[in-house]
Amino acid sequence: MAMLDETDLRILALVQEDARLTQAELAKRLALSQTSCWRRVRQLEENGVIARRVALVDPRAVGLTVSVIASVSLAEHSDESRSSFETLVAARPEIVECYSMTGDRDYMLRVVVRDVEAYDHFLTTHLLHHPAVASASSSFALKQIKYTTALPLESS
């Protein structure tokens, strides 16, 4: 992948802030022609730098008031076990983030549900019931202090 220049980084910063910007608005803010701006954005998309554009939904506005961080240990560390667990993760909409970890636990999940009962159901029916899972530890978030999807872009 080619190095990103200052203009690419400015495009990314603006798009991260507001993905609804039109090409005309983006070009104006960057002092570029619309054609030049469109080419740059298209190139960033084709290169996978801009993976997709999404709408961020306020979880509380749709009744999802409980956020849980779950640490998961697998029963064994075979490729089949990991693949099976990762298939479960991909299939469960409650799991909004998943990381393979170093240390005592194998995976860290962020799970978003409507209430504690919904989490209990997810935990006992899906997570702990999965044959690859040896154990899971849950921590309930009391308050969200910071949340952003914007990456800290810096020019060289």
Domain boundaries, the chain: 6-46, 59-140
* Averaged confidence pLDDT in the chain: 95
Strand locations in 20-132 (E): 66-74, 95-100, 107-113
Indicate the pTM of the whole model. 0.87
Q: Which amino acid is at 125?
A: T
Could you give the 3-state DSSP secondary structure of residue 130? coil
Q: Specify the fold of 6-46.
A: Arc Repressor Mutant, subunit A (1.10.10)
Burial code of 17-34, b = ≥16 C-beta within 10 A, e = fewer? eeeebeeeebbeeeebee
Q: Specify the fold of 59-140.
A: Alpha-Beta Plaits (3.30.70)
Q: Residue 1: what pLDDT?
A: 56
Q: Residue 156: what pLDDT?
A: 44
Q: How many helices (H) and strands (E) would you count in the chain? A: 5, 4
